[in-house]
Structure 1
Amino acid sequence: MNILFLTIADIKEIETSSLYKDLLRKFVREDHNMYVVSPAERRTHEKTHVLESMGAKILKVRTLNITRTNVLEKGVATILIESQYYKAVNHYWGDIKFDLILYSTPPITFNKVISKIKEKYGAKSYLLLKDIFPQNAVDMGMLKKDGIMFNFFRKKEKKLYALSDYIGCMSPANVKFVLQHNPEVDVSKVEICPNSIDIKANTIQTDKKAVRKEFGLPFDDTIFVYGGNLGKPQGIGFLLDVLKSNNNRKGIYFLIVGRGTEYNKINNWIIESKTTNVKLLPFVPKEKYNHLISAGDIGLVFLDKHFTIPNFPTRIMGYLLHRMPILSATDVHTDVGKLMELNGCGFWVESGDLNGYNEKIEYLMNKKDQIFQLGENGYKYLLSNYEVSVTYNAIMAHFNK
């Protein structure tokens, strides 16, 4: 099939591993023709151009800055992108008959390019729902419920759902949320199509003690690892509460790797407290990140307690890959922690419940023999549920009949 993939992720090649690149490589390996559309943001000073990687064609479209910019530019860029993408696709690939359009959220503003290509070629459309906007912006206090901007984007969201022949959600809670809040959506077109990774491409052989020595981590402590964004959605205030309540505790060490608006808040506390059992490292490339977190024993997940939408942080797959139990603190709507508990891969508490979270830490410290078994359970769960073939098969099930 000729498949068009629309994304705001910065994709220049598909050789390296990431959430979308792993899936794109899988499609290429299965002899599909992949056409990828990705932004060349204003800060790069690049003009619209085409690249090739492992058989996939990648169209980099000049846009305004969509990421790491102010709210005004991000909003304008998000509105303009559908016209910019359609114009570029029509110019460079106007003679390609697309069979399938794949696209992910964010953003929710691909309606024009999707509808035009569907109308032109009769292509099917599949939404990979990674972000439920604008409700998540309301949860984080960025938009006012039923305000002008909320209503504008809500109409865009509903239009996107209507245009999509299939909607792939990350977890059962996501499916439930979409159907409850959008009763006009046909139940039969909403399904689970999980985040996934190419396990073979991501598997690395490491010596845990050697990695700990390389990064100055204690050899004998139990290391709790947090890797990923350090912003308001991650509920970093609660992460700080956990660090403070375990400050300088013997036998426990926290490794935090990432970047975001709350990075300095953590860094300032580390400096002021002169803590001895927390290390904060800035964002590192994916390959180095996989190497680094292999030094850990337990993976941490944090999400802000105010979320009313279910999220599914991709970092859990790295933890599962390295056979680490997962200790989650999230809102009550997100089901990732509950899924980990149900499948014997870790524990969950509601974000803000410091006593409950520390009880789980205490349990793991007193039952160190169970850390290994929980990690093995997690790896098996990863193989069955989050390997890239699972996502690929969910999509292709609609075309292999």
Structure 2
Amino acid sequence: MKRNSVSGRRKASGGLLAALFAIVCMVASVPATAESDVVQSCTDNFMSEALQAGIERNDNHEWVDLGLSVKWATCNVGASSPEKYGDYFAWGEITSKPAYNTNSKTDKKHLGDISGDPRYDAARANWGGKWRLPTKKEIDELHSMCTWTWTTRNGCKGCKITGPNGNSIFLPSAGFMSGRVALGTGVCGYYWCSTPYVDNTLKYAYEFNFNQKNYSAISRDRRPFGKSIRAVFDDSANSTVCKYVDLGLSVKWATCNVGASSPSDYGNYYTWGETTTKSKYTVGNCKTWNKHLGDIAGNRQYDVARANWGAPWRLPTKAEVQELIDNCTWTKTTLGGHNGYKVTSKINGNSIFLPAAGWRSGTSFNSKSETCTFWCSTPGEGGGPNAYYLYFDNLNHGVGRIERYYGLSIRPVSK
């Protein structure tokens, strides 16, 4: 559907609220095009039984299998039931706020797809686990593979979306936030995708929307507007985020580092017990320095693998890293232009590659292309400033202890 009316809404964002609402109503009456379908109407009784089918729960939130590539949540982020509007979010922000003006944190910021990144993905940041924002591709799938029906559920207007397997979800027409006012509630639904719109302005991102007479699966809009989030659940541990290799050990090892796009990429560097990167790695900004913690494996608050990739991914324990050393041969090699080690199982012959990413201290990068350093989940004894890590270079290798503030690589494991 052509979004001339949306373009008009952007121009009016600084004007009268009455003009804004008139534009929302205009969107609700735009004729459907090749990308839009006429939405039928029905009642609560028609949809209540179907909406209960196929519901399961993970990480304290329910999802429905619609027969698509991902599972869809039954509620919006911030909502307690399917018909509740929930919270509104600017694109790429993880908390709601009282006013949605031009102060978006991601406006004019160059970002790739944010799905699954807890710094920008409101679903992952708020719900954790394997919950995340849907991508543009997954919204296209929802549009093309499902039937959309305008209906009312418990007094709330919105769309019933029925998948190819007959299961359904309900999306409330929550409208959107501009400034401090919600516009179009009960008339239109606006939901963010994780995919940014690529142009020179870096001001737009993809959304999907619907209304009583027609809907468009995908359009673009300005990032500062407050819109709804309907999360998806990806229950595949060996998913597109990263794959694992079975080395015949007690756990399976990921093929790449957290933050890497391939096995040879260095990926990101993390302080022990922290789940986000930073520009400087010091004792002063180490959140777990001298903090008494047990093993953090699987603890989303401290385990960067679990926080970024979701369950069942986690940091390896000291024992699991020692098992990797004892039961594999380590051969220095080069992959994708990066030095590192091919780690080959003595049990089944399968292998992974660990890049020699070095480590970070302060603002510096140290021993790149020379040394492998990876955090374990196990803290040093006595709750002091140390934690265990894997190190490997030309002269030494093993499991040792190092101060937690250093920035090291993360190679997750999965059961």
Fold in common (TM above 0.5)? no
Q: Which has the higher strand share?
A: 2
TM-score bucket (shorter structure): under 0.3
State TM-score, norm by structure 1. Answer: 0.23
TM-score calculated relative to the size of structure 2:
0.23
